[in-house]
Amino acid sequence: MEFSAIQIAQLLEGEIEGDGTATVHTLAKIEEGVPGSLSFLANPQYTPHIYETQASIVIVNKSFEPEADINSTLIRVDDAYRAFAQLLDLYNQMKHDKQGIDNTAVISESASIGSDSYIGALVSIGDNCKIGANAKIYPGCIIGDNVTIGDNCLLHSGAIIYTDCVLGNHITLHSGVVIGGDGFGFAPNSANSYDKVAQIGNVIIEDHVEIGANTTIDRATLGSTIIRKGAKIDNLIQIAHNVEIGENTVIAAQTGIAGSTKIGKNCMIGGQVGIVGHLSIGDNVKIAAQSGVQNNIKDGDIVQGSPAFNVREYKKSYVYFRKLTKMAEDIEDLKKQVAESKK
């Protein structure tokens, strides 16, 4: 699809400077702009690129004052970054406009699918599932029995949901996600081996949650593992049984959270963090990447280390960790001097 500067300016309520008939068919960063692409300039650091970019159209702030000739057609708007993000969104929506049910999808007769939905090739949907309107379920997704999915959900290829799980609205699951696998629960027995503790709870995911590729969220032993509204969860994350993740909490890739831990609202958790089980993490907590959390954390605290403690103290201790050889030499030296002084 091609769009002209005039069409884009209308959409963004912007003003054209240059050739209004210039057309674009893709989006690009300003430093990578090629003919036929649309770009934007928001961060002043990138200003030099606008005089060299090959992008056919560039969105700029109304306040932008060029200091040399520019080849591209400009579209002036109030907030260039915001306008560009708006276009990214539109572009993305156009990509996910598939509809209809592929005839290789295997859908239980007792399942219901909402209007305007897309069910791709080789999808399996189990008994008694309820899928809302405008669902986009890409090829190869597997949905177990008795699963409920709300409206406007997007499941990328190969996402897997076990039986009995419940998803709200506007949820995105990426490929390879596993929702509702058994919690890791085993009881030692007299034969020095383990008996499985049956895991009969489920997973509940609230509205506007996004979950990254190959992340695993285990079902509760009893009750529910819960991901609250607006939480954003990256790739390859492990969330164990009976965990609860608070509203709008963001978790970076490869973090693991052990069983029954509750995490508050608006937290930011770095990558490769480990959090042990049965803890209570407050609201607005920040945890630095690779930390190991072994104790409860109060609202608003920032921690680092394994085991994790106050981030400033950690950073100070680490400064001296790097100087430990010198410190050890100083101690030896002091010992000699003190011994000497006694002679």
Site for a copy of itself contains 236 (CB under 8 A): yes
Q: Give the number of other Cβ atoms within 10 Å of residue 209's Cβ.
A: 24
Q: Which stretch binds a copy of itself (CB under 8 A): 13-21, 110-118, 183-191, 295-303?
A: 183-191
Angle between the N-to-C axes of helices 324-342 and 311-322, in degrees from 0 to 180, rounded to the nearest 10: 70
Residue 132 and residue 151 in contact, taking contact as beta carbons nearer than 8 Å: yes
Site for a copy of itself contains 88 (CB under 8 A): yes
Q: Which is nearer to a copy of itself, 71 or 163 (CB)?
A: 163
Q: Which stretch binds a copy of itself (CB under 8 A): 1-9, 12-20, 56-64, 159-167?
A: 159-167
Of 111, 142, 302, 311, which one interacts with a copy of itself (CB under 8 A)? 142
Site for a copy of itself contains 118 (CB under 8 A): no
174 is known as an active-site residue: no
Q: Which two tokens stand for residue 14?
A: 């912007």
Q: Which is nearer to a copy of itself, 19 or 301 (CB)?
A: 301
Q: Which stretch binds a copy of itself (CB under 8 A): 15-23, 52-60, 109-117, 215-223?
A: 215-223
Of 11, 253, 302, 311, which one interacts with a copy of itself (CB under 8 A)? 253
Burial of 190 (0-12, 13-18, 19+ CB in 10 A): exposed
Question: C-alpha distances in angstroms, 165 versus 126, 217, 251, 311?
Answer: 12, 11, 21, 37
Taking the alpha carbons at both ends of the chain, their separation in whole angstroms is 91
Q: Which is nearer to a copy of itself, 14 or 126 (CB)?
A: 126
Question: Could you give the CA distance from residue 25 to residue 1 in angstroms, rounded to a whole number?
Answer: 6
Burial of 200 (0-12, 13-18, 19+ CB in 10 A): middle
Site for a copy of itself contains 210 (CB under 8 A): yes
Of 18, 20, 36, 139, which one interacts with a copy of itself (CB under 8 A)? 139
How many residues interact with a copy of itself (rule CB under 8 A)? 105
**Distance, C-alpha 68 to centroid of its chain:** 40
Of 20, 292, 301, 302, which one interacts with a copy of itself (CB under 8 A)? 292
Site for a copy of itself contains 299 (CB under 8 A): no
| Residues with catalytic roles | 241
